[in-house]
A = this chain, B = another copy of it.
Amino acid sequence: MRPSGRAADQMRAITIEPGFTKHAEGSVLISFGDTRVLVTASIEERVPPFLRGKGEGWVTAEYGMLPRATHTRGNREAAKGKQSGRTQEIQRLIGRSLRAVCDMKLLGERQIVLDCDVIQADGGTRTASISGAWVALRLAIDGLMKEGKLTADPLTAQVAAVSCGIYEGMPVLDLDYIEDSNAHADANFVLLSDGNIAEAQATAEGATYDEEALLRLLRLARIGCNDIFAAQLKAVDR
């Protein structure tokens, strides 16, 4: 029995509020239950040095957590003077995930920065970030297309992510904080709407797992991502 009473393959409520802030070219407040992340997409008409002059674009991400997004207050990374290893690992994952569905030649020589800031945390902040970032990116690219700056759509598919894990011996979908703290294995899957996988990460915590468990977690992730894909489309009116 899950603490929340959810079925093993049941997502928390997904809400996606597009246009949450006004300055960004794309912005969204995404919630997976009590986890809430503000994602903005910022278009910059320049690319990182290693891409200059190649006619290709870039998509990158930054991630942060407000100090009191969590149960007890964490130190502010800006005050500590550095980003933790966890923060850097997450923002690298978000960037890779979104680049997996973006044709950089079609995007042209510009960069889109996805800022994912966790307003409230209850497990799954990185997967909510990825899922919300696709919406923000979609909105930003729609804007470029409306302005005529892009003629072909660089987005090749939807991408979404969800966490799964083995809680009290049972594979479950979309861990909340209580489950996450007690899970024996913790996995994050980044899946595409075309059925492919962009990233699979499954980590033993306390107890290791076998191949069958890995496959069951992946199947739960498909169920969850299908829900997220639907919510994404609704948010962008498609």
Give the residue of B40, B72, B77 whose beta carbon is less than 8 angstroms from that of A66.
B40
Range, interface on chain A: 35 or more
Whether B88 lies near A85 (C-beta < 8 A) is yes
Find chain B residues with CB under 8 A from A44 CB: 73
* CB of A185, distance to nearest CB on chain B (Å): 9
* CB of A98, distance to nearest CB on chain B (Å): 12
Whether A200 lies near B218 (C-beta < 8 A) is no
Q: Is A96's CB within 8 Å of the partner chain B?
A: yes
Whether A100 lies near B204 (C-beta < 8 A) is yes
Give the residue of B27, B69, B117, B201 whose beta carbon is less than 8 angstroms from that of A21.
B69
Whether A79 lies near B68 (C-beta < 8 A) is no
The answer to whether A81 and B82 touch (CB under 8 A), given A40-B66, A67-B115, A196-B210, is yes
How many Å lie between the Cα of A200 and that of B120 in the bound state? 28
- Integer count of this chain's copies in the complex: 6
Q: Is A64's CB within 8 Å of the partner chain B?
A: yes
Whether B76 lies near A21 (C-beta < 8 A) is no
Find chain B residues with CB under 8 A from A150 CB: none
Whether A204 lies near B197 (C-beta < 8 A) is yes
How many Å lie between the Cα of A226 and that of B218 in the bound state? 25
How many Å lie between the Cα of A120 and that of B20 in the bound state? 10
How many Å lie between the Cα of A208 and that of B84 in the bound state? 28
Q: Is A113's CB within 8 Å of the partner chain B?
A: yes
- Which residues of chain A from 23 to 65 have any CB-CB distance to chain B below 8 Å in the complex? 23-24, 27, 34, 36, 38, 40, 42, 44, 62, 64
Task: Give residues in A with beta carbon < 8 Å to B.
Answer: 21-24, 27, 34, 36, 38, 40, 42, 44, 62, 64, 66-73, 76-89, 91-92, 96, 100, 113, 115, 117, 119-121, 192, 194-204, 208-211, 214-215, 218
